[in-house]
Amino acid sequence: MLNGKTAVVTGGGSGIGRATAIKLASDGANIVIIHMDPEEKVAEVLSEIEALGVKAKAIRMDVSDFNAVKETVDDIVKEFGTIDILINCAGITRDGLIAMMKEEGFDAVIGVNLKGTFNMIRHATPYFMKQKSGCIVNVSSVSGIIGNPGQANYSTSKAGVIGLTKSTAKELVGRGIRCNAVAPGFIATDMTANLSKNNKLVDMIPMKRMGTADEVADVIFFLASDAARYVTGEIIKVDGGIAM
Ligand code: NAP
């Protein structure tokens, strides 16, 4: 049980992050959601989490801002006493062919997906080291493993998240800190709303359907829980078999 633990979930206002925040809360964790969503959308998630009997807070913050992340992480520890679990789920896409990709589109995706994940880990780690415990789960993508046409920026960022996960795991394993990642395939969320009716794409998936946010949240929950206490530096694909 995660009773009394504090979990920070970036991108927790929607999709996979939202499902993960609810899953962790249903096992007793207090939840801090970091988001860029409209306040009304997040208010709904917060009341759903609070109804589970745990403490919940939402903070509107851009994870790509190094200094803002430091301030926010410090404030969370002041208010909640600790951070035990960090889920890095915030992510964006700016798809386009590489020959036409704008510099801004490349930088924005690297900034949120890769640097944002680094920023959160960077500022939470001193607290994890002090308490000699901590658990990080990053959200990569199968696009970062096998690549995807039209996603040079995104797959680069997600491949980077895999490198970051493994280096962090190796560096911190002796301090009682675990770091793992999930690599989802095609999951039905706002991010993929325009793909969900693409039958050709669904046909490429061995399980012949897109995944759900809950199916990814279940694996993130496993990695964040004590059941995975002997697992670190691992990347688990949650993709209906598309990258096997
Ligand atoms: P989503 O519903 O769009 O969730 C992404 C979340 O990240 C949103 O809440 C978004 O807020 C937030 N966010 C974006 N930029 C941010 C920033 N700068 N700072 C803080 N929060 C920010 O999509 P999702 O599918 O659940 O994606 C969650 C993660 O899974 C992402 O990292 C994504 O790359 C990864 N993933 C998704 C799929 C898939 O098929 N859906 C596959 C592989 C990996 P806004 O709503 O305001 O933008």
| CA 5 to the chain's CA centroid | 18
Q: Give the Cα-Cα-Cα angle 167, 172, 177 (nearest 5 degrees).
A: 120
The whole-number pLDDT of residue 165 equals 99
- 16 CA distance to ligand 1 centroid (A)? 7
- Which pLDDT value is given to residue 9? 98
In this prediction the pTM is 0.98
Mean pLDDT value of segment 67-71: 98
Residue 156, sorted as left (phi over 0), alpha (psi -120 to 50) or beta, turns out to be: alpha
Q: What are the CA-CA distances from residue 64 to residues 85, 104, 169, 214 (Å)? A: 19, 14, 21, 26
Q: What is the mean pLDDT of the chain?
A: 97
Distance of CA 17 from the midpoint of ligand 1 (Å): 7
Strands (E), the chain: 6-10, 30-35, 56-60, 85-88, 134-139, 177-184, 235-238
Residues within 6 Å of ligand 1 by CB: 10-11, 13-17, 34-37, 62-64, 89-92, 112, 116, 139, 141, 184, 186-187, 189-192, 213
Which residue has its alpha carbon closest to ligand 1 atom 47? 37
Domain-by-domain residue ranges, the chain?
6-238
Residue type, 146: I
Per-residue pLDDT reduced to its tens digit, 186-222: 999 999 988 877 888 899 999 999 999 999 999 999 9
| Cβ–Cβ < 8 Å for 196, 153 | no
Count helices and strands (H / E) in the chain.
9, 7
pLDDT given for residue 171 in this prediction: 98
pLDDT at 38: 85
Residue 130 C-alpha to ligand 1 middle, in angstroms?
30
- Please give the CATH number for the structural domain made up of 6-238: 3.40.50.720
Crossing angle of the two packed helices 15-26 and 39-50, in degrees rounded to 10: 20
**Residue 27: band (very low, low, confident or very high) from pLDDT cuts 50, 70, 90:** very high
Question: What number is the average pLDDT over the span 166-188?
Answer: 98
**Closest residue by Cα to residue 118 from 172, 177, 159, 164:** 164
Looking at the annotation, which residues are catalytic? Answer: 154
